[in-house]
Structure 1
Amino acid sequence: MANYKLPKINYIGNKEKLSKWVLDNFPVEQGRILDLFAGGSSVSFEAKNRGFEVVSNDALYSSFVVNKALIENKSVTLSEKEILKFEDINVDSEYRQKISWLENDLYHPSEIDELSKLTYLSEQLKGYKKYLLQALIRRAMIRKLPYSRMNIDWKNILKLRDEEYSYEKYGRRRAYHNEPFINHILHDLASYNAAIFDNGHKNKVYQLDALSAIKKAGKVNVIYLDPPYPSTMNNYAGFYGKFDQIFDKEIEYQDITSGDNFLYYFDQLIDLASKYSDYLVISLNTSGKIMFENLVDRLSFYGQVEIKQKKHNYQISGKEAKNKNMELLAVVKFYK
């Protein structure tokens, strides 16, 4: 088993601290797996470390680039020299205009000047170099934003980027919010490069709706699900979707974040998964509105269900919730 380290991604709900536990409870120790809602790639990365053939999928391009750079990529890295070429780029007004809507929305106009050069450079790069730089750009964009998400209004962004206000309110100046994008990119470059390795398989990454991804991946041994459950921090399009808009990479996908349609779509997912996989492994935190017990009946219709649990505190949880959170894992062996 390899021991490569996942670099900092900043992804709400990321399973980084739980990925080893999740993989420890996989019903197989080798084979082909599909990480259907891969997000920040933590479970896919741990599976790659353990020598699985990994198929990662997420509907958001912001997640797709991370997984392309770290899961599918076997050996391609970026140098500081290649990235610093952005300084010599003269972006034409038409290209700059494409992301001008971010001015006084997420960043200051001068920061959009810098960002446009970096995104332009990334689109001139080929193959995994492009995805690696875009993954670093994504990380830099998130680091510069309070609460590490893109749906904070500009008034609050300005307030929270005021280092004196931040110090008075929270005891921290958070100067990193005001660092140039390039500083963040160069700071993280070595850790991203160091996370790229070949585990001996042709791992694949898709940006598809979940149902389409199951069909595209074909036969696998395990499908892992960590879907955006209703009544959780589940607005991933709001958190990161503006990145997708920058690169014009938004796709249509089934929104399952409301309680009204979740169970119907969940049934569709499990039914299709049972046709393509031997096992299903599915995560649920007890803070979710739809409790795990309500799903067991549906899961048991398709196979034998074993429940695992572990106490786990999410960083974004309130003090009361921190004492109650249990991470639950269902391992389903499909009837054949």
Structure 2
Amino acid sequence: MAKYPKVNYIGNKEKLVDWIIEEMPVKRGTVLDIFAGGCSVSYALKNSGYSVIANDILYADYVIAKALVENSDTKLSVNVFDKKVSEQRVEELAEKFSFLTDCLYYQEEVLELSKLVAIAEKLKGSEKYMMLALIRRAMIRKLPYSRMNVPWEQIQKLRDEDYSYKKYKRKRAYHNQSFESHMRENIDAYNEAVFDKEECEVYNCDAFDMVKKIDFVDVVYMDPPYPSTMNNYDAFYGMFDEMFDKKRKHIDYTQKTSFLDNMNKLIKKLVGKTRYIVLSQNTRVQPKPDEIEAMLKKYGKVTIKEKKHNYQVTGKENKNASKELLFILEMEA
């Protein structure tokens, strides 16, 4: 069985995928993962023999899906780092990416990043997305807390290895490795993760636009940002989207006051387009699970499955005991 590689994605379901697959209401068929995120569920579904449609509004997530879910046979040679690129193009990209300087990275690091993106521009198809997925992983790995909304003053502090060791007993030297060194460390794992099974499709759409693209699927799996939890994915990864001019407005599922209304509208659009909806949530969310259940019951029979699970945040487990929930909605005929 192929192994999903490290992507560093907050809220990723990697440790829950076996349970999620086990609870799927059908054992074969097509599943639309409409909020694919870090793609661990899409990847596991493909590995389990489902046909998968993976979608996410973030380009940072789309490149993961293109590299690891849709890609069935293309691997990336380590010689890619030796590919010649135009100095002028690297300078143009460095100017374009200057908003990252003294915000996420130092100036010389932005220049290195620009060269790697220039190499990616010379690649085609799945090779390009493998390269971009590795660039994304390296960018996140170099950042404290694996997210792009940490203040620059704090990034600088935590990249000071002596300070980090004194305060946290960890030097975190990996924050100071080059982008290329991170990519070289991960390229084998990404290549080994590529496998051929059922045909998969990948999209970069708002969820409502994605619904328009399907005629019928057996299951729609939903893992939206959990309201009232650590859920600002635009801030966590959005600067990657900005680099490639891919940042777009979309429906906001993070607000507890509008979550139910937005989910209700989305599910209404799915009437007649799927047999089942499987919704991931957590016992810590607001609105409360019983409110979510009541909304879902308007569309059919609801079964709830639960599993004890604590997410790991910034190197430590969230100590607030919680349970992961799966709402399984069987749509009325």
Task: State the match for 1:210 in structure 2.
Answer: 207
CA contact (8 A) 1:34 1:217 kept: no
Counterpart for residue 241 of structure 1: 238
Q: Secondary structure at the match of 1:274?
A: coil
Pairs within 5 Å for 1:9-20? 9-20=7-18
Q: CA deviation at 1:91?
A: 4.0
Cα offset, 1:260, TM superposition: 2.8
The match for 1:83 among 68, 81, 84 is 81
Q: CA deviation at 1:121?
A: 1.1
1:186–1:91 Cα change, 3 Å: farther
**Aligned twin of 1:140:** 138
Q: Report what 2:163 is aligned to.
A: 165
Per mean C-alpha deviation after superposition, the further-off stretch among 255-264 and 166-175 is 255-264
Query: Aligned residue for 1:225?
Result: 222
Given the alignment of the two structures, is residue 299 of structure 1 paired with residue 288 of structure 2, yes or no? no
Structure 1 CA distance for aligned equivalents of residues 254 and 307 of structure 2: 24
Cα 1:296–1:172 change in 2 (3 A) is: same
The equivalent position to 2:65 in structure 1, one of 52, 64, 67, is 67
1:209 alignment partner AA: D
Which of residues 37, 40, 62 in structure 1 aligns to 2:38?
A: 40
Per the TM alignment, residue 83 of structure 1 is displaced from its structure 2 partner at its CA by: 2.7
Does the 8 Å CA contact 2:104/2:152 hold for their aligned counterparts?
Answer: yes
- Whether the 8 Å contact between 1:76 and 1:129 is mirrored in structure 2 is yes
Whole-Å separation in 1 of the counterparts to 2:214 and 2:177: 40
CA RMSD of aligned residues (A): 1.5
Task: Using the TM superposition, give the Cα deviation of residue 256 of structure 1 relative to its aligned residue in structure 2, in angstroms.
Answer: 2.0
Give me the whole-angstrom Cα distance separating, in 1, the residues matched to 2:255 and 2:320: 26
TM-score of the pair, normalised by structure 2: 0.96
Question: Contact 1:281–1:332 at 8 Å: present in 2 too?
Answer: yes
Q: What CA distance in whole angstroms lies between the structure 2 residues aligned with 1:218 and 1:129?
A: 30
Q: Once the 2 structures are TM-superposed, how far is the Cα of residue 279 of structure 1 from its aligned partner? A: 0.3
Deviates more, 1:227-236 or 1:91-100: 91-100
Q: Name segments (4+ residues, structure 1) moved above 4 Å.
A: 317-321
Q: Does 1:315 align with 2:301?
A: no
Q: Which runs of 5+ in 1 are unaligned?
A: none
Matches within 5 A, 1:141-156: 141-156=139-154
Is residue 61–residue 249 contact of structure 1 (8 Å, CA) maintained in 2? yes
2:251 corresponds to 1:254: yes
Give the secondary structure class of the aligned counterpart of 1:212: helix
Over the matched positions of the two proteins, sequence identity in percent amounts to: 48
Q: How many residues align?
A: 332
Q: Give secondary structure in 2 for the equivalent of 1:250.
A: coil
* SS of residue in 2 equivalent to 1:259: coil
> 1:217 Cα deviation (Å)?
3.0
Paired residue for 2:6, among 8, 19, 44? 8
Residue 97 of structure 1 pairs with residue 95 of structure 2: yes
- Matching residue within 286, 290, 309 for 1:289: 286
State the partner residue of 2:323. 326
Gaps of 5+ in 2: none
Q: Deviations over 1:178-207 (max 9, x none)?
A: 0000000010000000111110x3210000
The answer (yes or no) to whether the contact 2:39–2:64 under 8 Å persists in 1 is yes
For the residue of structure 2 that corresponds to 1:18, the secondary structure is helix
Letter of the structure 1 residue corresponding to residue 330 of structure 2: K
Residues 253, 262 of structure 2: 8 Å contact kept: yes
- TM-score scaled to structure 1, two decimals? 0.96
State the secondary structure of the residue aligned to 1:260: coil
Q: For structure 1, which segment, 276-285 or 257-266, has the greater mean C-alpha deviation from structure 2 after superposition?
A: 257-266
- Separation of aligned partners in 2, 1:246 and 1:17: 30
